[in-house]
């Protein structure tokens, strides 16, 4: 068993039933105290996934799943490029869809990419092959994208991204 699988299993095992009950911790942005994608990921978790410091999470449109994404940027991303509605390298994007539409959005995205199954994370999970990890857990759909600034070669890049995204998903899943 690899480290990623062991970490995922331990995090998934501790997933609570309701995200809305989570109180925002340090570095977590929320909208009026209500649940949103920023309420399930901390700034420290995003920084750890990206491997460097990041800004406070900001909400932007999630084009694949509808709803809102929580976006963190490294300091190297110029403020003029920090549009949370547009994906950019050197950033972390986290989206959680809760409720009856979770499965619909998960399956919809899965049908549009060359989904590569990832075992041991949530109830179902897949890597889209280049940008993100999608995880279905009960009636929650988590999609995270860790976009490093440098692409050292496609194969190595994909391995690094999947590792970072799995680690981030495993940190978030206990709150789903």
The per-residue pLDDT for 160 is: 52
Alpha helices in the chain, H assignment, sequence order: 3-13, 43-50, 101-112, 154-172
The answer, yes or no, to whether residue 93 has pLDDT greater than 90, is yes
Whether the full predicted model's pTM is greater than 0.85, yes or no, is no
What domains appear along the chain, each with residue ranges and CATH number? 3-175 (3.40.1000)
Name the band, by pLDDT with cuts 50, 70 and 90, for residue 66.
Answer: confident
* Average of per-residue pLDDT across 58-71: 85
The per-residue pLDDT for 150 is: 55
Quick one: 176 exposed, middle or buried, by C-beta within 10 A (0-12, 13-18, 19+)? Answer: buried
The answer, yes or no, to whether residue 158 has pLDDT greater than 80, is no
The per-residue pLDDT for 175 is: 80
Name the band, by pLDDT with cuts 50, 70 and 90, for residue 34.
Answer: low
* Average of per-residue pLDDT across 40-67: 88
Name the band, by pLDDT with cuts 50, 70 and 90, for residue 161.
Answer: low
Distances 33 to 36, 48, 86, 133 between C-alpha atoms, Å: 9, 25, 25, 27
Distances 135 to 25, 63, 145, 154 between C-alpha atoms, Å: 23, 17, 12, 23
Give the pLDDT confidence of 95-114 residue by residue, as tens digits: 998 888 899 999 999 999 99
Name the band, by pLDDT with cuts 50, 70 and 90, for residue 89.
Answer: confident
């Amino acid at each position: 068993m690899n480290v990623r699988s062991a970490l995922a299993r331990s995090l998934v095992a501790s997933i609570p039933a309701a995200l809305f009950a989570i109180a925002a911790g340090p570095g977590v942005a929320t909208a009026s105290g209500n649940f949103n994608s920023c309420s399930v990921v901390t700034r420290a978790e995003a920084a750890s996934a990206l491997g460097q410091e990041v800004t406070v999470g900001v909400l932007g449109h999630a084009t694949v799943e509808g709803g809102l994404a929580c976006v963190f940027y490294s300091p190297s991303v110029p403020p003029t490029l920090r549009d949370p509605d547009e994906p950019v390298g050197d950033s972390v994007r986290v989206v959680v869809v809760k409720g009856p539409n979770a499965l619909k959005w998960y399956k919809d995205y899965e049908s549009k990419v060359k989904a590569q199954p990832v075992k041991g994370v949530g109830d179902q999970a897949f890597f889209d092959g280049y940008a993100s990890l999608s995880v279905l857990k009960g009636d929650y759909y988590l999609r995270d994208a860790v976009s490093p600034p440098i692409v050292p070669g496609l194969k190595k890049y994909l391995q690094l991204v999947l590792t970072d995204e799995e680690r981030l998903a495993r940190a978030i899943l206990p709150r789903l």
